[in-house]
Structure 1
Amino acid sequence: MTNIRDIARLSGYSVATVSRVLNHRKYVSDAVRQRIESIIRELDYAPNDVARDLSRGKTMKIGVVLPVFVHPYYTVLTQSITQAAFAQGYQVSLLPSSYKPTLERRFLEQFKRQAFDGIIFTSHEMPLKALAAYQEFGPVVVCEDPGQLQIAAAFTDRQPSNEAAFTWIKQRGFKRVALMIPRAPRLSATARAIVAAYTTVFGQPPDPKLIWVGSMSNEDGQRAGTFLAKLKPDFIFTNSDDIAAGVMQSYLAQGLEPPVMMGQENQLTGRLMGMSTIDHHLEQVGQAAVDLATGAKSGRIKIASEFIARE
């Protein structure tokens, strides 16, 4: 089997020079590069990617753990991570977890065995402390505020925009405000932030009867609309513009006038509906997460979110 030493011997150049050509490095003249490439073509040589990764100590791969594909938050965040990784020459392995700790630990063990140079958790079920324990094997990045725990993090600062949104709602006299959240607050940092902001602005916790748990897709929005219509809220705070559109579809299908709604992520549906929203700037979060996972940056990177009011 042809190897790099055969190419060096036939071309008359050193193994180091051949390696620079194979890895598209600088400091090789055009004449030398052409000579070596001609030998490579003659021998029909294909470099061993695994051996090359081992030799340079990198896989040029990033693992991205995500619980679901359907929620717009994960769709946009994963797309931005992929674009940022490709721009830096990295491949991305999507690792669906379905919020199962056994799968999350399996992905971490793969990371421990150097399957990835870094691993990004867009969300997780395992405790943050358990994720942080794997940092000795490389960058472990989370997409939430880790508080006092020392772990790399890229996330949006949700509290100011959430409070601005609920202040806007309160100032307009809405009182029966329904909340749509992805998971129960004890499981979701996003849900806790929403409930905390509501409580701060209105001076009391939200009515549990007006909370819909399990908002991940437009279809979930339609189901929520059927449920919420019976409770007659005068405002619905949703966790995505697309999900809000599903709620509206449900109301209209029932022959009912939809209440005023607010979405999140500043999606096309929200702009077309003229609906207020919160933009968490996930493109910037994705870029920051990749910078942390590749070691280009360290620590934690907080991105400011933005409340967008549309009257």
Structure 2
Amino acid sequence: MMNIHDIAKLSGYSAATVSRVINCRKYVSDNAKLAVQKVIKEYDYVPNDVARDLSKGKTHNIGVVMPHTKHPYYTGIINGIMDAAFPAGYRIVLLPSMYNADVEMNYLNRLRRKAYDAIIFTSHGISLEDLVNYQTYGSIVCCHDPGNYKISAAYTERIDSYLAAFKWAKEQNVHDVSILLSRDFTLSATSQLTRKAFSDVFGHAPSNDLLRTGIVTYEDGYASARSLHENNQTPDMIFSNGDDIAAGARQFYLDNNLPVPMLIGQENQLSGQLLNLPTIDHNFHEIGRLAFELAISDETKQVSVESKFILRNQKDCSDS
């Protein structure tokens, strides 16, 4: 592949002069500019942007690791990152992982090889210890509370909003609550907080019979309601991990002329607004913006945003 040294030999001018011509710098004679441009045109030379960026110590690429995009958690964070990155002149590279630790380690090694200036982990299957160890190669930001680990993080404070939601449920004389989660308690800090809030309010752990995991879409919500019905389980309430998911569960009951349990959604989605569902807004767009700002900064710090339980009137939630 041709480089500026080849152009210098062919044009008869120095590599420094060639570089000035390519980058439209001053202090280049007309004769030199014409000679260099003639070689560039003849050999169809295109500058290597990657090499140029590396010479400057920056790629202006930020990698964003995400297991999938099916849940509004990820799309909300991505939208926040994109809205902050574009005016700052950065490119965002989406890195799918499906929680595969080997895949995520490969992304970390690409950070080590300077493919990205930083990586934001919206979630991860790899250990926090590994993330901390790789910070020497570039900025790494996670989107959950890292506890005592010294790593940059932007995350939402969830526990108070979960407590508020379950306290309201208890005030409605709810006893049997079906909880729909993306991941099991053993795998997800968010799921653990949900269980803790439920236990603190109701005085006992959630029922395993009423628990459903792997729930991320409207279709999953519909299927979870069908599963509950087929197992003769009739919860007073369904606490879902998304308004679209709650809407899916609701639709199963309506399609089968069954009473609709009380519903609580999350993420303040349009479906929840139209159905007047109580919901929890975790402000993921703001989390994405903050994660990007941390990624391009030279600081290692942790910032959090409060979530909010939004109570709406459910009187029309079971209408067809």
Task: Give the structure-2-normalised TM-score.
Answer: 0.85
Counterpart of 1:25 in structure 2 is: none
AA partner of residue 281 (structure 2): D
Counterpart of 1:303 in structure 2 is: 305
Q: CA deviation at 1:163?
A: 0.8
Q: CA deviation at 1:262?
A: 0.7
- The DSSP-based 3-state class of the residue aligned with 2:120 is strand
CA distances 1:226-285 after superposition (whole Å, capped 9, x unpaired): 012331001110000011111112112222121110111101000000001011101110
Counterpart of 2:168 in structure 1 is: 168
Contact 1:241 1:265 in 2 (8 A): yes
Question: Aligned ranges for residues 146-225 of structure 1 at < 5 Å?
Answer: 146-225=146-225
Q: CA deviation at 1:135?
A: 0.6
Counterpart of 1:130 in structure 2 is: 130
Paired with 1:124 and 1:204, the residues of 2 have a C-alpha distance of 29
Q: CA deviation at 1:48?
A: 2.1
Paired with 2:205 and 2:37, the residues of 1 have a C-alpha distance of 69
Q: Of residues 229, 234, 245 in structure 2, which corresponds to 1:243?
A: 245
Paired with 2:3 and 2:103, the residues of 1 have a C-alpha distance of 40
Q: Runs ≥4 in structure 1, deviation > 4 angstroms?
A: 1-6, 13-22, 39-46
Paired with 1:163 and 1:203, the residues of 2 have a C-alpha distance of 12
AA partner of residue 101 (structure 2): P
Contact 2:178 2:211 in 1 (8 A): yes
Paired with 2:118 and 2:285, the residues of 1 have a C-alpha distance of 19
Paired with 1:67 and 1:52, the residues of 2 have a C-alpha distance of 31
- The DSSP-based 3-state class of the residue aligned with 2:141 is strand
Contact 1:72 1:217 in 2 (8 A): no
Show structure 1 runs of 5+ residues with no match.
Answer: 23-27
> What is the root-mean-square deviation of aligned Cα atoms in Å?
3.0
Q: 1:257 to 1:52 in 2, by over 3 A?
A: same
Counterpart of 1:255 in structure 2 is: 257
Q: CA deviation at 1:79?
A: 2.3
Paired with 1:108 and 1:132, the residues of 2 have a C-alpha distance of 11
AA partner of residue 144 (structure 2): E
- The DSSP-based 3-state class of the residue aligned with 2:155 is strand
Task: Give the structure-1-normalised TM-score.
Answer: 0.87
Contact 1:277 1:308 in 2 (8 A): yes
Q: 1:167 to 1:105 in 2, by over 3 A?
A: same
Question: Aligned ranges for residues 1-311 of structure 1 at < 5 Å?
Answer: 3=4, 21=24, 46-229=46-229, 230-295=232-297, 297-311=299-313
Contact 1:291 1:297 in 2 (8 A): no
Q: CA deviation at 1:17?
A: 6.6
Q: 1:168 to 1:18 in 2, by over 3 A?
A: farther
Structure of larger gyration radius: 2
Q: Which piece of structure 1 moves more, 102-111 or 263-272?
A: 102-111
Contact 1:111 1:118 in 2 (8 A): yes
CA distances 1:134-188 after superposition (whole Å, capped 9, x unpaired): 0111111111000011111110000111111111111121111111111111101
CA distances 1:87-128 after superposition (whole Å, capped 9, x unpaired): 211111111111111111111111111111001111111111
Paired with 1:87 and 1:296, the residues of 2 have a C-alpha distance of 19
**Amino-acid identity (%):** 41
Q: 1:40 to 1:220 in 2, by over 3 A?
A: farther
